[in-house]
Chains A and B, each alone.
Chain A
Amino acid sequence: MLIPHPLLGLRDAQEFTYLGDARLIDRPTGGNEAELAEYVYLRDNPAGVHRELWFHEQGDRSWLVVTRNTLTHEILGAELARDVSLARKGDMA
């Protein structure tokens, strides 16, 4: 799999470490135990389009949100997780 890094172009997925569902960006901060357990353990795990976090460990050490189809391994796009997170905070403000 080749990941289209927004800054570095196409990079081999082997350079990355996988973390999983991009929803993990939204870590609950309220101290609610049930919410935290849900955050840590439960996943949507869809068959199809999946937004997920990849860490460019062997590269520029940026976190990416990669959109990928779990049924075909087709990669549909990649953004810097930082941009995704900032945009979301902008939406909330």
Chain B
Amino acid sequence: MRFSGFRVFAEALTGHKGWKPLWRDPDPQAEYDVVIVGGGGHGLATAFYLAEVYGIRKVAVLEKGWLGSGNIGRNTTIIRSNYLLPGNQPFYEFSMKLWENLEQSINFNAMVSQRGILNLYHSDAQRDAYRRRGNAMHLTGAGAELLDQAGVRKMYPWLNFDNARFPIKGGLLQRRAGTARHDGVAWGYARAADLRGVDIIQNCEVTGLQIENGRILGVETSRGSIRARKVGVAVAGSTSRVMAQAGLRMPIESHVLQAFVSEGLKPAIDGVITFGAGHFYVSQSDKGGLVFGGDIDGYNSYAQRGNLPVVEDVIEGGMALMPRIGRARLLRSWGGVMDMSMDGSPIIDRTPVDGLYLNAGWCYGGFKATPASGYAFAHLLATDTPHETATAYRLDRFAKGRVIDEKGVGAQPNLH
């Protein structure tokens, strides 16, 4: 079933009776070439690119809950490629290019909207750092513009420019950045993978990894055991739990990150604004709600909910940046479990167990990476070599002293 404008029109005239479920609901087979643990954005994207690009179609995606029930179903939907370091920026720019063609390649409306992201700066030093970052972005073709205060005023005249502590002096703008519909991304990848023969198996929790003589043989699940030549783990906040089944300790702590949505408002913010100094960022969804968030709560958590002090901290950041947010009412908040790696950068690598592969450590930045993460992980699973944009994301980089110092923090701002 292909989606098209004509199809929507025809269905509208015939009572919408022709729509079918977007993917099958198969029982697990006894054996697969590749089993992917985790039916979130990254796992589903991996399955899609395995089938589409690398021609590996005997693939299963195992999801313990329902499809997209983790962080792909609860995030602030921002896509961008405004990183600095050579180990990171080409990867995120690759992701940005995949976003730009995503809807054509999966034939699904993921509502990718390149509405631009503006990172605000408040001092000369921060401006210089952003100039450097912008230049790094230009090297990969990501595009960047450094705005002075007048430039920012032209875009968002209602910001609080004269905040005593953090007066807004300007910002770094990436016009190609924006937002995408997070659920649509999961559903679109799931449907596209399913159409190419991938089995998406929900309510199927992996309870054990079968390992013999240092080699993976398959997985034990709540729906029976499944043999696999290769197993890829893409389970975000549950990484430590799953990898513990292979006896491996991870350079990861699971933390809770909260995000918030206001009641629906008339169009007020047409891009994404980040106020890093105040731990606050905001955009407006197509439904009208202001979508915003801040920092992690700062303690290990698998609870999928946070506590009130961070709610207060985020709202304070919002009030400092845009006082008019005080007139909006908060509609809901939620918390996701983040796989905080120790240097704040991800891991896409083989593991000490033959045939067991890891995709983890996305911290609070996994959504924008979804397409490239899936592509690079599929490349690794298919060829046993890292994708050219993901060579720095090694699991052993911590022990070898090759940490990626993008922001200088991982799980702990006072560490590393």
Contacts and interface: CB of A to CB of B under 8 A. Distances in A.
Interface of A: 1, 13-14, 17-21, 34, 37-38, 40-47, 50, 52, 68, 70-73
17 contacts: A1-B307, A13-B307, A18-B298, A20-B300, A20-B412, A21-B300, A37-B399, A40-B342, A41-B342, A42-B249, A45-B250, A45-B300, A46-B240, A52-B300, A70-B300, A73-B301, A73-B303
Contacts of A52: 299-300
Contact of B251 (A13, A18, A41): A41
B254 interface: yes
A43 B303 contact: no
B349 interface: no
Given A20-B300, A37-B399, 16 more contacts: A19-B412, A20-B411, A38-B249, A38-B399, A40-B416, A41-B251, A42-B249, A43-B252, A43-B253, A44-B244, A45-B252, A45-B254, A68-B299, A70-B254, A71-B303, A73-B307
A72 B364 CA distance: 21
Interface in B377-416: 398-399, 411-412, 414, 416
Contacts of B15: none
Interface residues of B, number: 25
B253 A20 contact: yes
B337 to A, nearest CB: 9
A43 B301 CA distance: 13
Contacts of B324: none
Contacts of B254: 45, 47, 70
Contacts, number: 69
* Shortest Cβ-Cβ A-B pairs, 8 listed: A45-B240, A41-B398, A37-B399, A42-B249, A41-B251, A47-B302, A18-B299, A41-B342
A19 B414 CA distance: 8
Nearest to A33: B399
Interface string B288-310: 00000000001111110001010
A20 B251 CA distance: 13
A68 to B, nearest CB: 8
Given A1-B307, A45-B240, A70 B250 contact: no
A72 B256 CA distance: 12
B303 A41 contact: no
B138 interface: no
Contacts of A40: 342, 398, 416
A9 B412 CA distance: 27
Given A14-B309, A17-B414, A34-B399, A43 B299 contact: no
B241 interface: yes
Contacts of B307: 1, 13, 73
Given A37-B399, A50-B300, A43 B309 contact: no
A58 to B, nearest CB: 12
Which one of B250, B302, B307 has the highest number of Cβ atoms from chain A below 10 Å of its Cβ? B302
B240 A44 contact: yes
Contacts of B244: 44
A44 to B, nearest CB: 7
Nearest to A14: B309
B399 A43 contact: no
Contact of B253 (A17, A37, A38, A45): A45
B250 A72 contact: no
B145 to A, nearest CB: 37
A52 B342 CA distance: 17
B249 A70 contact: no
A27 B303 CA distance: 29
B217 to A, nearest CB: 25
A19 to B, nearest CB: 7
Contacts of B398: 37, 40-42
